[in-house]
Chains A and B, each alone.
Chain A
Amino acid sequence: MKKTRQVNHEMPSIDGKGIMMGRPAYTDDLAQEGSLIVKVLRSPHAFARIRRIDTEKAAAVPGVEIILTHNDFKRNAHTRAGQGYPEPSPHDKFPLDHYVRYIGDEVAVVAATDEETALKALALIETDYEVLEPVLDFEKALDNQTIIHPEEDIHEMFPIGFNPKKNRAAAYGMEVGDIDKTLSESDVVVESSFRTQSQAHVMLEPHTVNARIDYHDRLVLYSATQTPFHVRRILSQTLEIPLSKIRVIKPRVGGGFGGKQALHGEMLVAAITYRTGKPAKLTYTRKEVFEATYTRHRMRLDMKIGATKDGRITGIDCYGLSDTGAYGEHALTVFMVTGSKVLPLYNKVDAVRFKGDVVYTNRTPAGAFRGYGAIQGNFALESAIDMLAEKLSMDPIELRQKNMILENETSPIFEIMGEGTAGTAMNMESCKLDYCVKRGLELTDWKNKYPRRTDANKIRSVGMAIAMQGSGIPYIDMGAATIKLNDDGFYNLMIGATDIGQGSDTILAQIAAEQLMTTVDKIAVYSSDTDLTPFDAGAYASSTTYVSGNAVLKAAKNLKNMMMNEAARVMHADPNDIGFDGTTFTAKETRLSLIDLSNQLYYNDQQKQLTATDSYVGHKSPPPFMAGFIEIELDKETGEFEILDYTSVVDCGVTINPKLAQGQIEGGVVQGIGMAAYEDELRTKTGRLITNSMMSYKIPSTKEIRKLTTEFAESYEQSGPYGAKSVGEIGIDTPPAALANAVYNAVGVRIDTLPITPEKILNAIKEKENRQ
């Protein structure tokens, strides 16, 4: 492996300084002055039909520019999910509808000169609802009397198990071998159900979008989105505006984590600006972000694992029920990932089955959220593995080491399960999971800490879990890059890839710089503009490093070749005899600087603009792997616990930027800890969200996170840019199971419902004592 100069080197992000200094960068910073303020009237009922809606009084308020209701839109069913077309999500949403399906659903929209006027008008809209019985319990949704989507004009784009009459948004099933037979013949079987909650993303920037008609008479949107190209397409198809008349720009985004991988305010704001010709903007309040954007799919996963008495895992059977809320964005794909990016961890089983249903309920729609099903699946599987170890009287580390996937192995699941469609067979050409586990044991001094050490009422214990994720969606998601050479020998890198704070602008510049043998400061990056940058599916499915990175690598290679050819021409030499070190071309006796060449190409002789564009679609999705270890101190009299350390050992191939990769892991780990221990959604019996503010919904603060230890394995993925795999999601997957296992190791109680709270622990301890 050649030593690299830019790749696998720590360097600060190219935008950190400007951001810290407060320069205009985010979507609302760039709104046009004098934009109409857009406010949405939201449903107070979990399920209702709008019998009548009258906007006359509201429209008469001075300063109100326009009010839209379902009467003002053609019924074009679409999905808001930012996914490749045709989407694996049902087209079950209308811009505005005469049904409202959750408290917070859109009823009408007002645009006015200022916020106060808009709110005044909102209050004057008269509505008459036929209130219907909602479905709030996802375990009672299937075949419920209440049909949440009774309308006839909705559809799936291809078979995904969509059956709205049963309240089913999607369904999936696959089996390898004969699982029932395998389990019945196994010496030991462990069976348990696990429940995960509707976690909220709580990215610090609320969703926001603004639109204007530019002087070319085109509709231009600035949106905090992870998928500008998908936004453009969905707007065009739904509002019937020619695609060529729409431009979507993603400015700096204050966090997405999947919560901005679907349309939020773009549809209504685009409609308003298109119809009025005036600039308009909508910023969600935090309450609206909680109530009316997206959450994680809550799930119940029924796990059965069988093994021989000497610890060979024979079969895994998983049935899942997933709650997609009022609309089916990401319903199938999240559910599939729950199986496809978890079950292959134990690839040597004789049989495996994964199936289940994704149901509608009258709650905030679920959607994409880092981990994307893998965190839910991981909690269930990795908890069950520890339970299996207990039943086998076997060390849980040994059980994993005996059965987990290793380098050069494969799993039949890779070929069967993609994301929404069939998958792609692949061997694990890079898999350092065994090293990750071994190294983690060293770093945490596991041998001396497992299972626990007791000191009066405080118990220190450890727990762990292993995980995998993916690197993009093969054959479906494409990324592209354009690099151009300027005078003075610097470059512009134009990429569709969306930087939402994870640093893709920086690491893609590093890849380009490596290939062009220059430094990052010579590369000006511009990203995520549907007019000016080439296509990229967007920041999701852990695509950016692997897919977009490969596109950048190819484009940079092409540009370098073009530059070498031009240099050869100027130097009257054979292109094969040209050497290049990033700043100078050499040929036998002559030298030509890049600066001179670039200036000549612009101004002097046979002038031309050198630009290279290239694209990449993955042929596989090489998983990053991780072993996560938690150490806690638990107070057995109160159930309270503190997290003393979380150690992560990660195989993501080569890290393009080790510090930014560390940031992805640690940020993911802390979000995973939030889901494991602190975050929970609460609703009233009528379906109203109680935890709709950052006062009532608590994410970890700095005091909850004392110590994080993060290391990367030496690994190299042949198919990745400079050996890299992606790293955006994997950090989040292990904390829930690791914590559950640590709690079990501390006090012998297993919490199978997230979040794991002190009260649940204390109740379980008491129950256990009562039984004894």
Chain B
Amino acid sequence: MNIRVRLNGLERTFTIKPDEFLIDTLRNHHLVSVRRGCDTSSCGVCTILVDDKPVPSCTYLSARADKRHITTVEGIPNTAARLAGLFGNEGADQCGFCNPGLALSVHALEKLGATPDAATIRHYLVGHLCRCSGYVSQIKAVKAYLEEKS
């Protein structure tokens, strides 16, 4: 079956299987920033935005994505670049495997408006596991990013 989506601003048509999940559809079409971290929707690594909402792409059926807007980190280069700079300021830049998914959630959080505090940021990003940074530096960087944007 086919789905038609708006991927990072461009109309695309994908041929998919009924039980295909977006992570594979996207990765098979060279969006290598969408990566797999686990088998059980538990880590947040594969997060993308569907209609501006963060979702785990490993758990989102491609058939469901028909007519929707999909954003991968390739579609938010300015956010990603700026966030990377702030991560660098805090020393939160390590293996990076969790970064693209996290950047997309931060982008979604930014679009929601008001500058959140650390507790709100933590709550919104808790689904993004990180094994390298110890989290505190990440939260500082995200807070700095959202403060810049507000």
Contacts and interface: CB of A to CB of B under 8 A. Distances in A.
Q: Taking the complex as a whole, does A directly touch B, i.e. does some CB pair lie under 8 Å apart? A: yes
Interface string B109-150: 000000000000011011011111111111100000000000
B122 to A, nearest CB: 5
A465 B75 CA distance: 46
A667 B100 contact: no
A450 to B, nearest CB: 24
Contact of A708 (B33, B80, B98, B134): B134
25 contacts: A17-B84, A19-B84, A20-B73, A20-B84, A20-B100, A28-B35, A202-B131, A204-B37, A204-B45, A205-B97, A254-B35, A255-B94, A286-B40, A500-B95, A501-B96, A659-B89, A659-B90, A660-B91, A661-B91, A663-B94, A666-B134, A667-B94, A694-B37, A694-B40, A702-B128
Contact of A662 (B88, B95, B137): B137
Interface in A248-289: 252-255, 257, 283, 285-287
Contacts of A283: 36
A702 B125 contact: yes
A17 B97 contact: no
Query: Residue among B37, B98, B131 with the most chain A CB within 10 A?
Result: B131
A199 to B, nearest CB: 12
B8 to A, nearest CB: 11
Interface string A223-257: 00000000000000000000000000000111101
A203 interface: yes
A21 B73 CA distance: 6
A16 B87 contact: yes
A685 interface: no
Sorted from nearest, which 9 A-B pairs have the closest CB atoms? Answer: A12-B88, A501-B95, A22-B33, A659-B91, A254-B97, A666-B134, A19-B96, A16-B93, A20-B84
Contacts of A666: 133-134, 136-137
Contacts of A20: 73, 80-81, 83-84, 87, 93, 96, 99-100, 103
Contacts of B131: 201-204, 255, 257, 667, 671, 699
B29 to A, nearest CB: 12
A703 interface: yes
A284 to B, nearest CB: 10
Contacts of A331: none
A670 interface: yes
Interface centre among B73, B83, B85, B135 (most CB of A within 10 A): B135
Contacts of B126: 701-703
B10 to A, nearest CB: 16
Contacts of B43: 204, 694
Given A205-B97, A257-B131, A707-B136, A22 B92 contact: no
Interface in B3-45: 31-33, 35-43, 45
Interface string A653-678: 00001111111001111110000000
Interface size class of chain A, counting residues whose CB lies under 8 Å from the partner chain: 35 or more
B130 A204 contact: yes
Contacts of B57: none
B74 interface: yes
B146 to A, nearest CB: 15
| A-side interface mostly | loop
A10 interface: yes
Interface string A433-463: 0000000000000000000000000000000
Given A254-B96, A255-B132, A666-B137, A287 B88 contact: no
B72 interface: yes
A254 B129 CA distance: 13
A695 B42 contact: yes
Pick the most buried of A695, A701, A708: most chain B CB atoms within 10 A of its CB: A701
Nearest to A115: B24
Contacts of B128: 702
B91 A10 contact: yes
A670 B83 CA distance: 23
Contacts of B98: 204
Given A693-B38, A694-B38, A19 B122 contact: no
A305 B134 CA distance: 34
A667 B134 contact: yes
Interface in A692-747: 693-695, 699-703, 705, 707-708
A443 to B, nearest CB: 15
Given A701-B129, A702-B122, A17 B40 contact: no
Residue with the highest number of chain B CB atoms closer than 10 Å, among A15, A19, A285: A19
Nearest to A25: B96
A607 B128 CA distance: 53
A29 interface: yes
B97 A26 contact: yes
A502 interface: yes
A253 B87 CA distance: 18
Contacts of A700: 135
Nearest to A202: B131
Contacts of B137: 662-663, 666
Most buried by A among B37, B81, B99, B122: B37
A420 interface: no
A26 B98 CA distance: 12
By CB atoms of chain A within 10 A, which of B74, B96, B97 has the most?
Answer: B96
Interface in B48-69: none
A24 B91 contact: no
B135 A670 contact: yes
A699 B74 contact: no
A50 interface: no
A185 B106 CA distance: 63
Contact of B94 (A29, A501, A708): A501
Contacts of B123: 703
A618 interface: no
